[in-house]
Amino acid sequence: MPAHSFSTLLFLLTFLATQTSQLPIPYEGYFPRKNLLPPPLRDPLVALIDEKCYTSLIENFNLTDLGCIKYAISKALGFGIVLGGAIVKIPQILTIISSSSAEGLSLAAYYLESLSCVITLVYNYRQGNPFSTYGEVLFLSLQNIAITLLILAYARRQSALVASAVAILLVAKALLSPDIVGPGWMQTLYAATIPINLASKVPQIYTNWSNGSTGKLSAFAVLNYFLGSTARVFTTITELDDPLVLAGNVLASLFNGILAFQLIYYWRKNKGIPPQVIEEVKKAD
């Protein structure tokens, strides 16, 4: 090797050694660690909890960001409630169909609950609220309407069944049109759903009390409805700034709790007693 080349190489090695000796020694956490996910996994999570919280919780794994943790829990609960709402009354519908009877179910309660659900659904839709904060109402509306029509069908009230189906379609069309129901009236109607929602529970609560049992009422539906409405209080506080929605959810949770209590109370009270004996006691009273 020529002398000048050797000298140049020696100079470069000496220079690099001098420079690197002046750099800080890397320690654990010196280099930023990010949990980078592929787009098929990343995009749905960003859509769910937004870019800021995704970066904080997933990429930076910042478990001290309580605001984002609370928001992520709310979103997870919200979509869990939506999923539960999609199936919560299916057992009730199957119970009615399999027994060919809607005994013990209050028609007035389901009329009121169906109306309340439709108004709540349209109000949230027109307000532009996130679907995760009200999506279950879409499925509850459809299921409540189905149960209402089944009650009429098994009571052999065909004319009332047809009239009810037509009325539901007309009401939904009117509510969806701002030209027919303006924003002010829509807010007033939503405020009215709070007492309507409570009133829809009262006939069923009274029916349970007067019968001394919950009849064909689905335990799965009642308990899931109670748990869902209670969790919805948390998601409303976290994601929305709407006192009307919060008040409605708190009261719904309270009255669903009463139905859940009746379900457990009458189940324990009548446990092991043959149905015919219960009927004989009712007749004797």
pLDDT tens digits, one per residue of 105-141: 888 888 888 998 999 999 999 988 888 888 889 999 9
Structure-token match 């409570």, residue found: 198
- The C-alpha atoms of residue 36 and residue 39 are separated, in whole angstroms, by 9
Report DSSP letters for the chain, one per residue: --HHHHHHHHHHHHHHHHHHHTSPPP-TTSS-------HHHHHHHHHHHHHHHHIIIIIS--TT-HHHHHHHHHHHHHHHHHHHHHHTTHHHHHHHHHHT--TT--HHHHHHHHHHHHHHHHHHHHHT--GGGTHHHHHHHHHHHHHHHHHHHHTT-HHHHHHHHHHHHHHHHHHH-TTTS-HHHHHHHHHHHHHHHHHHHHHHHHHHHHHTS-TT--HHHHHHHHHHHHHHHHHHHHH---HHHHHHHHHHHHHHHHHHHHHHHHHHHHTT--HHHHHHHHHH-
pLDDT value at position 13?
Answer: 59
pLDDT value at position 274?
Answer: 44
- The C-alpha atoms of residue 50 and residue 115 are separated, in whole angstroms, by 34
pLDDT tens digits, one per residue of 76-114: 888 888 888 888 788 889 989 998 888 878 888 888 889
Structure-token match 């209590």, residue found: 261
pLDDT value at position 32?
Answer: 55
Q: Tell me the Ramachandran region of residue 157: left when phi exceeds 0, alpha when psi lies from -120 to 50, beta otherwise.
A: beta
pLDDT tens digits, one per residue of 270-280: 665 444 444 54
Of residues 141, 95, 124, the one with CA closest to residue 189: 124
pLDDT value at position 139?
Answer: 93
CA atoms within 13 Å, Cβ hemisphere of 255: 20
- The C-alpha atoms of residue 222 and residue 215 are separated, in whole angstroms, by 13
pLDDT tens digits, one per residue of 243-274: 888 888 888 889 889 988 888 888 777 665 44
Q: How confident is the model at residue 188 (pLDDT cuts 50, 70, 90)?
A: very high
Q: How confident is the model at residue 48 (pLDDT cuts 50, 70, 90)?
A: confident
Percent of the chain with pLDDT over 90: 18
Structure-token match 């009390």, residue found: 209
Of residues 16, 10, 225, the one with CA closest to residue 136: 225
Residue 28 has pLDDT above 70, yes or no: no
Of residues 258, 229, 257, 256, the one with CA closest to residue 245: 229
pLDDT value at position 180?
Answer: 92
pLDDT value at position 152?
Answer: 93
Average pLDDT, the chain: 80
Q: What is the mean pLDDT of residues 184-202?
A: 84
pTM exceeds 0.85, yes or no: no
Distance, CA of 70 to chain centre = 16
Of residues 240, 246, 249, 206, the one with CA closest to residue 104: 206
Contact 45, 37 (CB under 8 A): yes
Find which of 9-13, 165-169, 241-245, 248-252 is predicted with most confidence, using mean pLDDT: 165-169
Residue 225 has pLDDT above 90, yes or no: no
pLDDT value at position 24?
Answer: 57
